[in-house]
Amino acid sequence: MQYQSFPEVRGDSRSQEKLKALRLPSLKDKSFLDVGCNEGYFCGYASFDGAARVVGIDRSAEAIGRARARFPECEFFQQSWDVLPEGPFDVILLASALHYAEDQAALIARLMDALTPSGTLVLEIGLADSGKNEWVKVKRSIDERLFPTRAKLREVLDPYAWKIIGHSVQQQGDPVGRIVVHVSRLKPFAVLVLGEPGSGKTTFCRRVFGGKDVPVIAGDVVYTWILQGKAKASETLATVVRESFETTRLSALTDRVFAEGLAGELFDVWCDLAGGRDFVLESYLPEVHHGRLKDHLEGRGYVPVMVNWSTEVSMAGAHEAAKRARGYTDALVRRFADQPSDRISVVRCAKRSARAASMRWHFDGPRHFQSLGSEPQLGVIGWVMPKELELIASIRCYVRGAGVNALHDLNAHRPDVVKAVLGNESEVPAAAVRCGFRFDVPAAAIGKGVEIGFVVDGEEVPAVKIGMNVRRDEPLDGLKRKLKAWRRLVWS
């Protein structure tokens, strides 16, 4: 089935939106590994962004075959993550796959070992909703998998330096929310206090770093407290926070606070939380405003001490990530338009009947304009749901075309479909949950065209016609115009 989305074919994963959420660091002249790369969407992006070496691995032979055809400049291997390609790598991506590992902590450790000393592991993972430190078994539409709670994730990542970047793209049927985490090797900090003799260096280090009761005030957390009413702020400042608060764009909120002349009120919130004690402030603040903050702190009775160190930025800003993703989408549109190929055509049957009107169905795969690939069989996946639920047990799928005439039973449990279509799963017959189908059709038959439909109570209900849509003679400009609407939809 088609999982990743490209400009010419939509898959189950909203790949372009996910690319923005991942906030990948700049890959120019870097080495990149995608573990569970599918058809190579993110490997293609790494090549587009200037990576010196791009490697993708996946257990699916069909996915690796398609990836090699799409991005021949990248390295792709059909293999599991038990043995990783020769590294090390500057950036490793593991998206939507950690829950398939038998030992998730061990897999993370293996990936961290494959990083360069300054490398970054980018994880897109699901978090279970529980306040406990545990792995939670979550029932999905196709299986049951273990997902960590936030406390368990904190325990697993404790040996490393890590940061939750924000939420990832939620997909239909996801039982848990997804987040993006950047992980790097934990390095010791060298705090440099380089003032003149008699400036208070010894006193500062003894008082601030000599005990464990010095509060650390984080600017992003303070915004959350203001939003929740846990930190006292003026109504004007609270209104700005409510109007502009986004977890992935807190720097823009700070810019607005300064633009509207509310910097002093924000500084007062920080000082009030410190309560007159020594404190450490950890917050985004443009350098142009550092002097103003120092003056404010001195006015409140504090001795401001600047501690500076340099480090490589580990992620792109939200605006920059969106800009790169848009550029990559444009490049994919041009790339496909320059090299069109044979594509699958999936067309809904025009003939309608009273029986057809009383049924709902959906084909998850194949998708219209999907590449046929080199596999001898094409997987057909979907579901059907009649309004008369008692008929569900008798429904069969038929496939008819040149060299093929077959019937298939409904053979897949789809509780996600039942919940979405019928509501409360417990109030429907057990047979209704078995409303999914999954079977193969010879690729040779697709080339000549097949019709797929349902036999319901002895009556045939045509659903779709699947064939080939050859686009080799379409002008470049014509295809670009047709893809233009898709680009507007993705980036609106």
- Count of the separate structural domains present in the chain: 3
Q: Is residue 220 part of a domain?
A: yes
Residue 329, in any domain of the structure: no
Query: Pick from 278, 299, 320: which residue ends a domain?
Result: 299
User: Is a pLDDT exceeding 90 seen at residue 186?
Assistant: no
Q: How large is the average pLDDT for residues 55-61?
A: 95
Q: Look at 175-179, 245-249, 258-262, 375-379 and tell me which has the smallest mean pLDDT.
A: 245-249
- The verdict on residue 316 lying in a domain is no
- Rounded CA gap, 170 and 72, in Å? 30
Domain shared by 164 and 31, yes or no: yes
Q: pTM of the predicted model, to two decimals?
A: 0.72
Sign of dihedral through CA atoms 316, 317, 321, 327? negative
Range of the domain at 70: 15-188
176-201: b (≥16 Cβ within 10 Å) or e = bebbbbbbbbeeeeeeeeeeeeeeee
Asked whether residue 354 falls in the same domain as residue 379, the answer is yes
> Residue 323 falls within a domain, yes or no?
no
Residue (of 412, 422, 431, 381) closest to 141 by Cα position: 412
Q: Report whether 455 contacts 396 (CB < 8 A).
A: yes
97 and 62 housed in the same domain: yes
Whether 281 and 214 share a structural domain: yes
The residue whose two tokens read 């939750």 is 164
Q: Which CATH number goes with the domain that contains 423?
A: 2.60.40
Residue 492 lies in a domain: no
- Is 433 a member of any domain? yes
Report angle CA 472, 473, 476 to the nearest 5 degrees.
90
One domain, residues 348 and 441: yes
Q: Are residues 206 and 183 in the same domain?
A: no
Q: Is residue 115 assigned to a domain?
A: yes
Q: Given a cut of 70, is residue 436 above it in pLDDT?
A: yes
Residues 171 and 210 in one domain: no
Residues 437 and 461 in one domain: yes
pLDDT 10s digits, 273-314: 888 888 888 877 788 888 888 999 889 888 888 877 555 555
- Work out the burial of residue 26: count CB atoms within 10 Å of its CB; fewer than 13 is exposed, 13-18 middle, 19 or more buried: middle
Do 402 and 265 lie in one domain? The reply is no
Tens-place pLDDT, residues 71-112: 999 999 999 999 999 989 999 999 989 888 889 999 999 999
Whether residue 138 sits in one domain with residue 26 = yes
In terms of domains, do 144 and 52 share one? yes
DSSP 148-191: E-HHHHHHHTTTEEEEEEEE----TT-SSEEEEEEEEE------
Tokens 């509780």 correspond to what residue? 415
